[in-house]
């Protein structure tokens, strides 16, 4: 009897970290954990904040782990969206050496995490501008954990975004074929929300984005090998949003948008 192909949700982890940034384990240890979980593909996405003198060593370790494990191991990076103009911390030269590029909001994002405006409407405009312009950057394959705004000085919850700004962002994702990452540790970003509340609020966002044809990827944001492949919350919030396997992008195809 032929083996049934595993659903996309159980086949890859698109967001993991190693000792090349703030992870606890090596590339090979993450890759072995992915193989133990039965994943077909793993992406190493260590943080890049500009120069990455360690990149050559990381690429060599990815190649070695790929050869040593049944799981396909790809070299990626997680950069930062630097400002509302959508500038990112990953250069064209670095991106050219990678299979996959994620970018996110972090503590260095001016006008959102750093020096945010006091006016909430202006802050939301900054978020929308940063997302739409980052999507338009051909180096970017996916936005990591969009709307992760619950731990910055000016907190925004998903419900603070009305239909118009959400639709503007969704349209940018769809038109540029940028993937929206559903990240397993998203509840960590909202310590003042119950898990039930943030799951419901985020599911509403996912449902709206899916209506506009946005495609998604899933990632654990693992910072240790023990968390690689943990996508249970992704599964939960996708179910709440009415999303299925058909809404996910197959990782080997995701980086195609950056190729000439």
Q: Considering the entire predicted model, what is its pTM?
A: 0.94
pLDDT score recorded for residue 250? 85
Tell me the average pLDDT of the chain: 94
Look-up of token digits 């996309």: 8
Q: Tell me the per-residue pLDDT of 78-116, one tens digit each, with 9 for 90 and over.
A: 999 999 999 999 999 999 999 999 999 999 999 999 999
Q: What's the pLDDT at 3? A: 47
Please give the radius of gyration of the chain, using alpha carbons only, rounded to the nearest integer: 17
User: Residues of the chain with pLDDT > 70: what percent?
Assistant: 94
Q: Say what the pLDDT of residue 171 is.
A: 98
Q: Mind listing the pLDDT tens digit for each residue in 134-190?
A: 999 999 999 999 999 999 999 999 999 999 999 999 999 999 999 999 999 999 999
Q: Which domains are seen in the chain, by residue range?
A: 8-258 (3.20.20.140)
Structure tokens at 4: 């049934």
The answer to whether 16 and 219 have CB atoms below 8 angstroms apart is: yes
pLDDT tens across 69-78, in order?
999 999 999 9
């Amino acid at each position: 009897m032929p083996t049934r192909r595993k659903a996309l949700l159980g086949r890859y982890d698109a967001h993991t970290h190693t000792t090349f940034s703030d992870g606890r384990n090596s590339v090979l240890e993450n890759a072995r954990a992915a193989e133990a979980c039965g994943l077909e593909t793993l992406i190493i996405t260590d943080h890049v904040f500009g120069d990455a003198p360690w990149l050559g060593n990381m690429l060599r370790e990815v190649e070695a782990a790929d050869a040593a494990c049944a799981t396909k191991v790809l070299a990626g990076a997680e950069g930062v969206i630097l400002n509302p103009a959508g500038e990112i911390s990953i250069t064209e030269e670095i991106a050219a050496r990678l299979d996959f590029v994620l970018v996110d909001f972090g503590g260095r994002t001016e006008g959102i995490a750093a020096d945010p405006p006091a006016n909430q409407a202006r802050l939301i405009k900054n978020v929308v501008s940063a997302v739409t312009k980052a999507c338009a950057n051909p180096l970017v394959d996916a936005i990591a954990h969009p709307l992760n705004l619950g731990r910055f000085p000016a907190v925004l919850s998903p419900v603070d975004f009305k239909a118009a700004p959400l639709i503007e962002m969704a349209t940018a994702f769809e038109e540029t074929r940028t993937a929206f990452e559903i990240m397993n540790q998203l509840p960590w970003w909202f310590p003042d929300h119950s898990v039930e509340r943030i799951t419901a609020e985020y599911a509403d966002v996912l449902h709206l984005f899916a209506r506009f044809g946005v495609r998604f990827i899933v990632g654990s944001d693992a910072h240790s090998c023990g968390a690689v492949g943990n996508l249970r919350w992704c599964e939960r919030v996708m179910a709440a949003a009415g999303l299925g396997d058909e809404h996910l992008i197959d990782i080997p195809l995701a980086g195609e948008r950056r190729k000439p």
